[in-house]
Chains A and B, each alone.
Chain A
Amino acid sequence: QKEVEQDPGPLSVPEGAIVSLNCTYSNSAFQYFMWYRQYSRKGPELLMYTYSSGNKEDGRFTAQVDKSSKYISLFIRDSQPSDSATYLCAMSSDTYNNNDMRFGAGTRLTVKP
């Protein structure tokens, strides 16, 4: 079993839709949970990070962590064509930049105008 599972998609939605991206994990030691956005032929950029369970909101983006279920989500409201990218979840045990950080495979999202 992989430490982090993420459906690679692709996922295609119309502009304005609510997007839900998810990851599951198996290592209960993970405490920090991150979402990265990666545009084609670019490196990943950090979107959001959360510590332990709970929700975090930043503009149109909401990150949720349910440690009891080992399940994390990223919601994108009022999705825009510029949100089209691959979204990677990542998690680590110590800090949000620890060397034991593990990534999901990434979900490719296309938002159609």
Chain B
Amino acid sequence: GAVVSQHPSRVICKSGTSVKIECRSLDFQATTMFWYRQFPKQSLMLMATSNEGSKATYEQGVEKDKFLINHASLTLSTLTVTSAHPEDSSFYICSARDPRGGDEQFFGPGTRLTVL
């Protein structure tokens, strides 16, 4: 299957700082990428849909000024958590659609964010 990577895998930051998470499709071009958040023992919650070259579409209740998404190329989308607070601590997972045969979504390994 296609490979999606995320960097960093784990980040610890102080409250009030900003954190950038990268999502890359390694062996295919992804016109659409998704960002999810997963709290312990809870579902993956879709935060936003990122389309290359256009503004992201955010789900209801997700602050677009707090979670900045940039999909600058067909293989890279970034999520920046601005002015992070402890309640933003979570597991952030991206996924990308592989247009070769069925648009299957492939998930990245996730980024564990801890805000102190």
Contact = CB atoms under 8 A, between A and B. Distances in A.
Interface in A46-87: 46
Nearest to B10: A41
Nearest to A90: B44
A111 interface: no
Interface string B1-23: 10010100100000000000000
B109 to A, nearest CB: 5
Interface string A21-56: 000000000000000100001111110000000000
Max count, chain B CB within 10 A of own CB: residue among A36, A88, A105? A105
Given A4-B43, A99-B49, A102-B43, A41 B104 contact: no
Contact of A43 (B4, B49, B97): B4
Main secondary structure of the interface of B (DSSP, over half): strand
The 4 closest A-B pairs by CB, nearest first: A43-B107, A103-B43, A103-B44, A44-B107
Contacts of B45: 103
A41 B110 contact: yes
Contacts, number: 51
A2 to B, nearest CB: 8
Interface of A: 2, 4, 6, 8, 36, 41-46, 88, 95-97, 99, 101-106
Contacts of A103: 43-45
Contacts of B104: 46, 96-97
A107 B2 CA distance: 25
